Chain A
């Protein structure tokens, strides 16, 4: 088994060899490491992408908009990912962001995962029919778990999820009641003797 350190290093060097800058190659190393840590086929997809990679074959996305639509080539997942990560504080306002074509979408995913951590919000991303929830870069929940090369995706929707509770107020109140069963009823005597402070707190 290759270590994550080896995966990071080889991804960085291979990307540099294909013409990415050192700084971007460092980002790729970290992202492929992240994919492999989450048991997603990072090396397999990067290897395939680098074999096909020519800067001119893919759209190098510089500025992320609310709608990023291409009528021809696919977006490069790396430049799209780097821009998404760099511009996350600006594009947060869009709430939902659409792309229509991204090549090797798994390579785009870890950049979004890192953005989730920066933002402090979960991000929901739908790549065609496959769904992912990126949890502050701590984990990825998905209905996709294939160890395959995924060459392109045509409809991409990204939503920044508000930090809302997953439960309602009634459920919380019920849970609080259970939790309160671990407490001791205070008699007047206990009130007087057990607390550290005096009976009045303004003396």
Chain B
């Protein structure tokens, strides 16, 4: 049986991308898989009684060492902000390549707490900062210092003790460029160093809270129960800064989505699915419903999505209970049913769940999630206009139907704010600055390109066309990328009035492995990472299905 890959025209719509969920392909899960046999250690822990000071954690194997250096600082209430405009945080972190010397630590002490205005070196790999979830943090300190474990209900409502507000890598602020580390086998997956940093930060939050509680009441205090710690993750507040990434990295975007689509195809093509494989899928699905039930948000938009998701998940369980498990191509049968019976949110949720029993299929694609983007940067200028026209008509058929003379299709523009150098979205007709628009209106520019291509001689080369159409060079490049990488483009209007920017964030975060998306507006959201993940001392022989085992 040959199942067709799902069409990019169906999958690469923003509303669909905004329904993606974590899966076995997610970066935090593949990070744990890669580093499970590395030696973990806490190399330094110099905090005062209030938890301020520095700590170092490391992973090492065969003389290779990665060290996280943490700086915890006192932060006054009026200085606390999760927004990117903040200049101080409860803690700041940097991942160092190797064992830091005293000189390195002194240098980093001067720079890491300053974040964007500090300078790092090629010896540093990723940079981040985080704020306490203050009310919860204080409650947990109080409980532990009084010799009691904290209230699980309260913990489950938030899910973490600290929230990071940015994680930087790949050469930002002087950090090591990707090319310096890309050939290391342990770093072959995307965002692996960012995942490592967040994972270490999670452990720091537990160590810090135990330390503070102990100093409050040395005689009565108890350590945070490891089972409870395991059920906590690290929060993250994410704004529009993340959105342009998926536009600016088309081949990477393709490789993430195409891997997912290929896995789905392969699973649907399995003729005989062993009973135990089906059981893994079914059990994970049932357990995961508890996670969805504990997915809290104040966002009406997300609330209605969760409600629909839950209804459809129960409907799916009922359907699965009546299904003949011995029939051939059972996952294709299920897919065809869900395709017509459940909402998009549930459909993509189930696609993620399909992967759980099939390590052997997913494994192959985990290696295909990175991309050599420079390889596809140069425009093949020897190609002809007819070839470009074919690409535009085949791959962007819906985009070229859009009418950008209509205000609603041309409503927004993306720009970089002067004060924070961060991407922002503004209304073209209400705020100034659209003349400084970033090249993220791909649909509009593709349409513009198409309008010029159809009045150009078919035999003309791209080199000749570029002489007079240099202003569209950035989208000509993209057109030749999509020809080879069909999932490389968001096939939607990123400047339309109906745009929901968090769909872009949600998509990327789902590949990170984030859960409990909690939109705080249409432009930023909170999420949780590593909730339920094994602690560093539990990494050996951990159960890869931990995602569905958090206490909640």
Contact = CB atoms under 8 A, between A and B. Distances in A.
A83 B467 contact: yes
Nearest to B176: A3
Interface in B169-183: 170-179
Nearest to B477: A23
B477 A3 contact: no
B174 A23 contact: no
Interface stretch (B312-320, B373-381, B393-401): B373-381
Given A5-B172, A22-B474, A118-B378, A86 B121 contact: no
A2 B174 contact: yes
Contact of B471 (A2, A21, A62): A21
Contacts of A21: 470-474
A23 B470 contact: yes
B382 A22 contact: no
Contacts of B172: 3, 5-6
Nearest to B169: A5
Contacts of B463: 86-87, 89-90
A26 B174 CA distance: 20
A88 B382 CA distance: 9
Interface string A82-103: 1101111110000000000000
B466 A86 contact: yes
Contact of A5 (B170, B467, B472): B170
Contacts of B171: 3-6
B374 A22 contact: no
B379 A86 contact: yes
A1 B123 CA distance: 11
Q: How large is the interface on B (under 10, 10 to 19, 20 to 34, 35 or more residues)?
A: 20 to 34
Nearest to B437: A22
Given A3-B172, A5-B172, A6-B171, A85 B378 contact: yes
A132 to B, nearest CB: 20
A148 B343 CA distance: 62
B381 A87 contact: yes
A187 B264 CA distance: 57
B528 to A, nearest CB: 29
B139 to A, nearest CB: 41
A21 B540 CA distance: 53
B174 A22 contact: no
Contacts of A63: 467
Interface string B402-436: 00000000000000000000000000000000000
Nearest to B467: A62
A24 B470 contact: yes
Nearest to A17: B436
Contacts of B177: 3-5
B122 A23 contact: no
Contacts of A30: 374, 377
Contacts of B173: 6
A37 to B, nearest CB: 8
B174 A3 contact: yes
B381 A22 contact: no
A122 interface: no
B118 interface: no
A87 B460 CA distance: 13
Interface in B453-475: 461-463, 466-467, 470-475
B178 A5 contact: yes
Interface in A14-65: 21-24, 26-27, 30, 62-63
B473 to A, nearest CB: 2
Nearest to A5: B171
B478 to A, nearest CB: 10
A4 B472 CA distance: 26
B253 interface: no
A59 to B, nearest CB: 14
Interface of A: 1-6, 21-24, 26-27, 30, 62-63, 82-83, 85-90, 114, 118
Interface of B: 121-122, 170-179, 374, 377-379, 381-382, 439, 461-463, 466-467, 470-477
24 contacts: A1-B121, A1-B174, A2-B174, A3-B175, A5-B172, A5-B177, A6-B174, A21-B472, A22-B439, A22-B471, A22-B473, A22-B474, A23-B470, A23-B471, A23-B474, A23-B476, A24-B470, A82-B470, A83-B467, A85-B381, A86-B379, A86-B466, A87-B381, A87-B463
